[in-house]
Chains A and B, each alone.
Chain A
Amino acid sequence: MKLTTLKLNGLRKKTIAVSAALAVASLSLVSLTAGAASNPGFVLYSAQGYDQQAVDAFNATHPGFTVTLKDDSTGPLLTDVQAEGNNPKWGALWVDGAIPFAHLDQIGMLVKNSAPKVAFNTLGKANLPADGSFSPTGVTETGVLCYDTAQVSASNLPSKWTDLLTTQYALGMNDPSVSGPTFPLIAGVFSKLSNLPFNATTAQVKAAITKGEAFYQNIAQKTQGGLVVNPTNGVTLGAMQNQAVGMATIQGSACYSKTLGSYKTLGEKYLDASMELPGVIGIDAKMPAIVRADAAKFVAWLYTPAGQLAMRTGDPTGDSLFWPVVGSTLANPIIPNITTTNPYAINPYTWAPYETQINNWFDSNFVG
């Protein structure tokens, strides 16, 4: 029997028609982007919780070009940036932490003097590099002691970093090779324990690393499971909720956000140093001039009242809980005055060369 002569009934024909329509609709994915426009705009690689709101607000008021957002976690974005190498696709990169930007600056990937000429406040000036190759857009803090009142007594919590050596509770923290804010935390702790000057010498840094490594080894050996390491802020908070650990040094904005949310027994305490973690944006030096100019317009817009509003309101229980770096813009009233938190700044250019070495040491001792 020849199959081609089989008769299809009406329902079968309709089904085939609908299936074919679905197929054609899906095949539209295969089409490539149309040819380059006169101003192609740029792609923003961002890990900020409020980035979508900021980009939407900017695109709505700036019709000349379009900012296209690639929103992801810091790790995958930095992987893309490094794998793309000398043929990058990002016009601007916007993530927490200045250390990757210091490294990108050192290998010539960032536009020098790209920081907009705005009235940075003291916090902004402290996190602005001398060559203006990247710009702080807001500051959060890492190394905030986040704790679960159901497991630990607030009166027994440590007040100083060195108190962690004697406290009865295990300490949770993130893995620096997975979590963006954690290497700045470790670098800050190493720096604080040795009271390093901002522009420390190589010998001073190496001595501080030796002392700092011994400090974490002692915490880990204090009791069995004295140091509980998880990949990121979210997983560490999950471990705290699971009562695997009662307190952890993580990014403060993650701790506040849960105080506002469903984790009612969460609290935060500031030790004698909370490491400043600026949200940072930098412009790709390998891009054509028109793209760099577009990116510069977007960066400048972030410091306008409209830009600051989008950043402050875009992620009200998460990344929007930052301290502003321009003028007299007010922070969200949920977070305390930064002067009460013992802010501590590290020099990203000093610590960038040691990131691989310290992360490898950490993995070998506390992860594997």
Chain B
Amino acid sequence: MTLPSRRVRRIPLNAAAVVTVVVCLFPVYWMVSTAFKPSRDIQSAEPRLVPYTWTLDHFRRAVQADGFELFWRNSILVTLGAVLLSLVVALGASFAVARLRWRGRRQFMLLVFVAQMAPWESPIIPVYIISRDTDMLDRLPTLTLVYFMITLPFTIVVLRGFLATIPPELEEAAQVDGCTRTGAFVKVALPLLAPGLMATSLFGFITAWNEFAYANFLIIKQQDNRTLPVWLSSFQNTFGTDWGATMAASTLFALPALVIFLLLQRHVTSGFAAGAVKG
């Protein structure tokens, strides 16, 4: 097999790769480029793939829109709160599942799997009623708790998977050296678990950052407590015909997720690779 013919044979493959990349990126690109285009170019009959002139007007308009900063902050607070809470709770639970032997372990995992699959949009009315009766309506901690619940099951499952890739012998060795069981876990396993924790928090972050239905229904009177997805979905009302501003706000909304994902991507793959190697 000669070199040129191999190159020719790779053409369809590379073409497919290009198509994949374009299809994946085009909506993201279109969002960002619309956000930077002047309105006159956005509403022209001749669409431009690359903005002719660049403008920050739309971003200015989005940021200056009523409460944008506030909603951004709310979203961040709620999301981080939920992710941290579920990480801590899940760490304990997954330690128990992966490292300890106890009666009901299998049943517990079954519960977790069921919880992970539960259609958590359906009990929205009961959740509304319960929060009302406990005076938790209109408050961000309520959303934090709901998102905690949404992210907890898969956090447990994922963390347990990571934990299982760390050989218990390492901890046992540390215990022989005089560490306590917990001490051994904190000193030896936890650092090894860091990529796993990051990967897990990533998924939690995306889920909570995105959540719409509860945020839309549980925050009623205190509109200052709304979160970004709810605000974004009512965008056409806020910005009217200004699709540039809509796209600018979408960009700003997507930004944290994109950044965190790209930053942590390495850890996701490395954590995964570690797991695969040790399998």
Q: A and B from one assembly?
A: no
A residues apposed to B, CB below 8 Å: none
B residues apposed to A, CB below 8 Å: none
